[in-house]
Amino acid sequence: MITIRRSQERGHANHGWLNSYHTFSFANYYDPDHIHFRDLRVINEDRVAPGGGFPTHPHRDMEILSYVISGALAHRDSLGNVETVGSQNGSRGVQRFSAGTGIAHSEFNPSDAETVHFLQIWLFPEAKGLTPSYEQKVFSLEAQQGEWVKLASRNASDGSVTIHQDVEIFTTLLDVGEKRVYELGRDRHAWLQVVRGEVVLNGHTLQAGDGAAVSEEQKLILEANTAAEVVLFDLA
């Protein structure tokens, strides 16, 4: 079963410095039919103007990742981390922090010229009261052309960042006409988010900003109608 969440159906907030689209209910946007999918709570597609950013604010008991599509994203937190990660054509930067018992952080666009475009992703943790932590990595996608690149996993396998939940997160780039197959394990679910381009997922055409909830499917067959980029969540 595949349920499509179209880009234009998402919640939207434009604050001038921030232009954000919400796949699931978030802040002032509430949709009782789209609260979360499995342990995936938030997918916000954010564009932050040069010099703009989120002032210091607290989180607790949530796993939060930022997948930087273009530009650079700076992070500062109450653990003392002061980091910046960026993305270019052949790479993607990922920031991950576990809020656990409590963390305060700010994130902002350090550029005075370029907008930063990223996905902000929240997942419910497998347990409350975890020790807060932070990490970031840059993943080369061109070096792994034709592959699913693992971004996050519970055991940090294949060079991924650690996520405290039974989930694996992947990304991939596809050329026109290229196919990618992903096999879901028994009783597993998936969410596919299209970052750019147009793809066909098991017969369903998806465009940039579209998402798809997948259950009771053993195999995901993805074919690109244009050059495309997707993020895939393998969920319990």
- What is the rounded distance in angstroms from the CA atom of residue 236 to the CA atom of residue 68? 25
Residue 66: which domain range?
A: 2-235
155 Cβ contact list (under 8 Å, min separation 6):
162
- What is the rounded distance in angstroms from the CA atom of residue 110 to the CA atom of residue 69? 15
- What is the rounded distance in angstroms from the CA atom of residue 4 to the CA atom of residue 193? 10
Q: So what's the pLDDT on residue 227?
A: 96
Residue type, 6: R
Residue with tokens 């179209």: 6
Q: So what's the pLDDT on residue 143?
A: 78
Dihedral (C-alpha) 109, 6, 96, 68: value to the nearest 10 degrees? -40
What is the CATH number for 157? 2.60.120.10
Q: So what's the pLDDT on residue 211?
A: 98
Total domains, the chain: 1
Q: How does pLDDT run along the chain (236 residues), one tens digit per residue?
A: 999 999 999 999 999 999 999 999 999 999 999 999 999 999 999 999 999 988 898 999 999 999 999 999 998 989 988 989 999 888 999 999 999 999 998 999 999 999 999 999 999 999 999 999 999 999 998 878 889 999 999 999 999 999 999 999 999 999 999 999 999 999 999 999 999 999 999 999 999 999 999 999 999 999 999 999 999 999 99
* Phi, psi (rounded to 5 degrees) for 7: -55, -45
